[in-house]
């Protein structure tokens, strides 16, 4: 990775502070293990499998938080080029348009400019991963019964960030020399979600051709 690129990724270009795992907790150890296997350049397909004896919810929690931080960072590097003028709808090419819906202001699916959608999305995820009732940080506090369903929805929406960045802003990524970094993050995300059945296949359609070349 070039020095300029390192500075971009190290600068806090994210919209919001990263959620950290407390040292000494089991989840911190899992986070370290997941990071170590990535850094050693191991086969990503193998790195996403739940380690023997580990709890599925813990493994998913660690990865959801990590993917949120990393995808947030990736979008942060192109956000100044993703404007209401350049991207008046949140889309992935002409065939795919994503509408925003939540429990608050947007009760019905609403078309929004991409940067507005992204900001709402990152806020929506951040509220959940910082909610102790959903992502408990203390050992011994159980995850909610619908935890995997919650994570599926988070991951489905995070995938849309990849769709938009790849289809509308990838030339910018190439200019910055960030292509390999983004591709690795995407492959890790794709293998994780498909290995553990956390994303609906139809959601993957917009990047199907690219994925078949990259993740064969």
Binding residues for Zn(2+), by number, are: 82, 87, 164, 169
Q: Per the annotation, where are the binding residues?
A: 82, 87, 164, 169
Q: How many CB atoms lie within 10 A of CB 1?
A: 11
Whole-angstrom Cα distance, residue 124 to residue 101? 10
- Taking the CA atoms of the chain, what radius of gyration do you get in angstroms? 17
Q: Phi first, then psi: give them for residue 99, nearest 5 degrees.
A: -110, 145
Of all helices (H) and strands (E), which one includes residue 42?
A: none
Let me know: does 129 contact 155? Beta carbons within 8 Å: no
Q: How many CB atoms lie within 10 A of CB 26?
A: 14
Let me know: does 13 contact 77? Beta carbons within 8 Å: yes
């Amino acid at each position: 990775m070039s020095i300029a690129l390192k500075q971009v990724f190290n600068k806090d270009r994210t919209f919001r502070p990263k959620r950290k795992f407390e040292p000494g907790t089991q989840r911190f150890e899992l986070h370290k293990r997941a990071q170590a296997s990535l850094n050693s350049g191991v086969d990503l397909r193998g790195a996403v499998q739940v380690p023997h004896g580990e709890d599925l919810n813990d493994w998913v929690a660690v990865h959801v938080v990590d993917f949120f931080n990393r995808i947030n960072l990736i979008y942060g590097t192109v956000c100044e080029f993703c404007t209401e003028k350049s991207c008046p709808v949140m889309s992935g090419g002409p065939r795919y348009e994503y509408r925003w819906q939540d429990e608050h202001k947007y009760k019905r699916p609403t078309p929004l400019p991409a940067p507005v959608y992204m900001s709402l999305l990152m806020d929506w995820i951040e509220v959940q991963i910082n909610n102790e009732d959903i992502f408990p940080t203390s050992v011994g506090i159980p995850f909610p019964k619908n935890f995997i369903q919650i994570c599926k929805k988070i991951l489905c929406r995070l995938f849309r960030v990849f769709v938009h960045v790849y289809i509308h802003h990838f030339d910018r990524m190439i200019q910055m020399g960030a292509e390999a970094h983004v591709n690795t993050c995407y492959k890790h995300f794709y293998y994780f979600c498909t290995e553990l059945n956390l994303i609906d296949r139809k959601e993957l359609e917009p990047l199907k051709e690219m994925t078949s070349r990259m993740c064969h």
